[in-house]
Structure 1
């Protein structure tokens, strides 16, 4: 089930707030305007957009908004419920045969589980089922890698264009060496592009890319559990064996929680 990942917007907002607080605590509220420079913003943002247009196709760039939105969403995986699902399917398959699972699997929301169980019902060999499901995982990883590369490249280009803006500012500053009073302000404006580029890269693009990579790892991990469960059901393993095989994927905390839950059920 997808829900809002509140940590992503909180992290971005907190990061900008701390930067703003550091500026205000040293320069005051009135001095905050010194850190806002439209030409510097245009160099960084314009250069970033241009570099992305060169690097990717229009079709790929259309995915950028969707990819960034994904970093604001989280998917909850209930491992205990997943294990119970396969234990139930295994019990029914041993009692009534694989064909009896056709009605059961229709109630399963996860299309990956449905696909695996339906392949088992159709009599597909175990090795072929594993190959088909692993191929789907590989395709998923490749799609996610391409989407993540949009944020990775944006994270690379933003500070680079910040440095380019700084170099432009330094050239303009050196052309006015005959006016010493302007050197300090011009140097400050030149460095703002580096600040903008570094903020965009290290507070927006790269953290979002990292969040997406972690979500991909979690999704692949869950699909690997599903494959083990499908093979257990297809081969007619004892439901207890299926449960024990899948429980090895649980962390110590999840195992303790499952044990407490089981103890509470026994007491009831």
Structure 2
């Protein structure tokens, strides 16, 4: 009963505060402040990230927002079927089935296994490809963190500009109020973009990276198990253990003075991506 009252009271208070905020929204809209924060943040990001990398950054963020990813249960079932076909099909027929696979990482791994038949060579090639792919995703995550750090900075820059404008019009009370409003609004927009745009994007992308890491590890383990000629049942149980033991890991904390992209090696070692 107490929880019900607390929940109801909280909803009433939230509704009252929300109505107050909504009523003040027209006063809080200033396109010059928004432009300063957004353009400044993007320009600062351009100094940290090559222009050609923005396309891949957008694709990574879009994939994380849409929840695009591989169904890991279906992937394990697919690898199990391939392990069974490898035992009963001829080499040519098995090669045709591999070429039709939609997962490019799995397709390339099995093709290397067929071409080389050297487990260590296949393992090294797949781990190198995984490390390069994940390093690209981690660089995108670092760029989002950079945007999150730059947005409040440019909000503060706007505040300084607004205060300078106030000092230049001390004799005009109306101009002083207008300048102070712009100064405070720019700081507000900087914090807003950092915490309601870039921080959630970073969280989404980090979850996407974790999911992709799990998928790549499953594929590598499955390909190597096929190379070792393990039974389909054994491969299935072994790969299912990845899903059963999957626990999302939080992003490692960085010192305040470190650059976001410097954490790449630590992240890869912490998550077992690099041996």
The alignment's TM-score, normalised by the length of structure 2, stands at 0.73
1:200 is matched with which residue? 193
Cα deviation digits, residues 169-222 of structure 1 (max 9, x gap)? 123324444556665553332110011111112111221122112112211211
Deviation, 1:76, is: 3.9
Select the residue among 11, 34, 40 that pairs with 1:41.
34
Select the residue among 135, 138, 143 that pairs with 1:142.
135
Q: Gaps spanning 5+ residues in structure 1: where?
A: 1-20, 254-268
Select the residue among 154, 158, 180 that pairs with 1:161.
154
Deviation, 1:243, is: 1.5
Please give the secondary structure, in 2, of the residue aligned with 1:250.
Answer: helix
Cα deviation digits, residues 117-143 of structure 1 (max 9, x gap)? 122222431111111111110110121
Please give the secondary structure, in 2, of the residue aligned with 1:75.
Answer: coil
Higher mean displacement: 54-63 or 186-195: 54-63
Deviation, 1:96, is: 4.9
Higher mean displacement: 136-145 or 64-73: 64-73
The alignment's TM-score, normalised by the length of structure 1, stands at 0.74
Runs of 4+ displaced beyond 6 Å: 21-24
Higher mean displacement: 178-187 or 208-217: 178-187
The within-5 A match list for 1:71-150 is 71-96=64-89, 101-150=94-143
Change (3 A) 1:168 1:157: same
- Looking at structure 2, the residues matched to 106 and 53 of structure 1 have their Cα atoms a distance apart, in angstroms, of 39
- Looking at structure 2, the residues matched to 105 and 86 of structure 1 have their Cα atoms a distance apart, in angstroms, of 11
2:263 aligned with 1:241: no
- Looking at structure 2, the residues matched to 252 and 172 of structure 1 have their Cα atoms a distance apart, in angstroms, of 58
Contact 1:99 1:121 in 2 (8 A): no
Cα deviation digits, residues 203-260 of structure 1 (max 9, x gap)? 112211221121122112111111111111111112221121112112389xxxxxxx
Please provide the CA RMSD for this pair: 2.8
Q: Gaps spanning 5+ residues in structure 2: where?
A: 1-14, 247-275
- Looking at structure 1, the residues matched to 96 and 159 of structure 2 have their Cα atoms a distance apart, in angstroms, of 65
1:221 is matched with which residue? 214
Change (3 A) 1:106 1:52: closer
